[in-house]
Amino acid sequence: MAKFWKNSMVLWFLVAIVFVISSASASTRLKKFDHPTKGDGTLNFLVIGDWGRRGTYNQSHVARQMERVGEKLDIDFVLSTGDNFYDNGLTGIHDTNFVESFTNIYTAKSLQKQWYSVLGNHDYRGNVEAQLSPYLRKIDSRWVCLRSFVVNAEIAEIFMVDTTPFEEKYFTTPKDHIYDWRGVLPRQAYMANVLKELEKALSESTAKWKIVLGHHAIRSAGHHGDTPILVDRFLPILRKYDVDFYMNGHDHCLEHISDTESRLQFLVSGAGSKAWRGDTKGINRDDVHFFHDGQGFMSVELTPTEAKIKYYDVFGRVRHRWNRSKLLLHSAM
């Protein structure tokens, strides 16, 4: 009888393990936000990063130019590439930095659209759970910030990914900074899950345009340069699933770089406030099409067959533009 109960307990234990593994596997799916396009099927949005400084370092000036371009393009939403609140994220859900750096700065009617945001390394120096909290939407309903998620905009899917935990130096040599790693540890398991979720979402996507956005660069001619672990872990996935654009911030500049082995374009928009004048690495590389070491932002205009990318400086001048056409494949009648 004792042997029977022992075998039964082992069996139930194995069943429980299988259930837990199956549940974890089933939940490995990025949260998706559906954002319908306009009636004509077009999609327009702005991309900005590294901005939240209570209006200083020309943040307010950039915001005014975003107002003008946002109105002209009748934008659908804004994407933030992270480092949303300087210097050390938010202290809590009642931190006035949220209102002073976001709500009170981007006040224009044209910018009263959804803001989809990822976290940057400076955000991880604060209370991460506060910045991710749904409570902030009660203060400003535009705010949507998760670690990783998908924006489904019909003709385009935008895969927002959390890149900060991939940088080992934040764990091994944090200097005087304290990072909030709740929800990230153990790090290796977290990174593996991010990559698994991203690859699954990309493999299932039928969008005409596939865009991946993170805080850290894969390729950059700016201060931080390329991010080796993203080149190693992310780039093969982006190439495999024919991603059109990888967008990021982190380097406080504007950049356009082409991949040397695919049609993938690296678009850096991290100049929402403080910029780093003259701080470059390899700016004369053949794959670098544009580099601007001042403040600014980027606009994206999409149709089912065409993409238009424009970079604007702090005065609203177009510093770089780039177009891409994409043929539609029609099934035989």
List binding-site positions for Fe cation. Answer: 50, 83, 86, 121, 215, 250, 252
Among 224, 289, 292, 330, which one carries the catalytic annotation? Answer: 224
Alpha helical stretches, state H, 261-302: none
292 is catalytic: no
Q: Which residues pair with 324 in a beta bridge?
A: 307
Please list, residue by residue across 226-252, b when 16 or more beta carbons sit within 10 angstroms of its beta carbon and e when fewer do.
bbeebeebbbeebeebebbbbbbbbbb
Number of residues assigned to the chain: 333
Distance (Å, whole) CA 267 – CA 221:
11
Annotated binding site: 50, 83, 86, 121, 215, 250, 252
Q: Which helix (H) or strand (E) holds 303?
A: none
E strand segments, the chain: 31-34, 43-48, 77-80, 114-117, 143-145, 149-152, 156-160, 209-213, 245-248, 254-258, 265-269, 288-292, 296-302, 306-313, 318-325
Q: Which residues are catalytic?
A: 224
